[in-house]
Amino acid sequence: MKAISLMTAATIAFAGIALAPRAGAQVIKIDGSSTVFPITEAVAEEFQIQKRGKVRVTVGISGTGGGFKKFCRGETDMANASRPISVEEMESCRKAGIKYIEIPVAFDALTVAVNPQNTWARSLTVADLKCFLWVRWLKSGALDHIPADIVDKNAPLLARHLERIKNHPKIAAYYAARGK
């Protein structure tokens, strides 16, 4: 066990020396989405190894919007984003003379699993999930933060969703199982 520990420590020490940027090394700055961070960090590490210290890559996590702000101000070379660039961000980049291309590097998804020990559902449909999301959204107080004119304009749509949620059997079973 000691031999492995020493070997690992030696490997890390040598890797640290090999990755240390040389004086005057080019720096590539990347910032943005925490979702994309692990991919970018891994690619940055490999790139630095290949460049043998001639290039240093920094990867920050200011969020997608924060990354776009820094990128459009010319503070970074790349922006990590978990969504496409918005029209406002495009305009900000255009005004600053920043040209860019979007390159999708990964797609994420959600996996929904029903625990076999639950007492209120044996399966969930997409419609069920939409209702649960609406309930979570409404219970979060999100509606309180939407301007009244938008709520008023969308009142018929909201009313239809609220009616569907109120009468949804799995929503009722979920809350009944929790005594709520």
Domain that holds residue 161: 126-177
Angle at 10 between CA 45 and CA 58, to 5 degrees: 20
Using CA atoms, how far apart are residues 13 and 112, in angstroms rounded to an integer?
A: 42
Q: Give Cα 139 distance to the centre of its chain.
A: 23
86 and 10 in a common domain = yes
82 and 28 in a common domain = yes
Using CA atoms, how far apart are residues 4 and 109, in angstroms rounded to an integer?
A: 38
* pTM score over 0.95: no
| pLDDT in single tens digits along all 180 residues of the chain | 323 222 222 222 223 323 334 456 699 999 999 989 999 999 999 999 999 989 999 999 999 999 999 999 999 999 999 989 999 999 999 999 999 998 888 877 777 777 888 777 777 788 777 777 777 766 666 666 666 666 666 667 666 766 666 666 777 677 666 665
The structural domain count of the chain equals 2
- Residue 104 belongs to some domain of the structure: no
87 and 31 in a common domain = yes
What are 91's two structure tokens?
Answer: 């305009």
91 and 133 in a common domain = no
Using CA atoms, how far apart are residues 107 and 84, in angstroms rounded to an integer?
A: 12
60 and 144 in a common domain = no
Using CA atoms, how far apart are residues 40 and 67, in angstroms rounded to an integer?
A: 13
- Residue 44 belongs to some domain of the structure: yes
* CATH number of residue 41's parent domain: 3.40.190.10
Helix/strand/coil for 57: strand
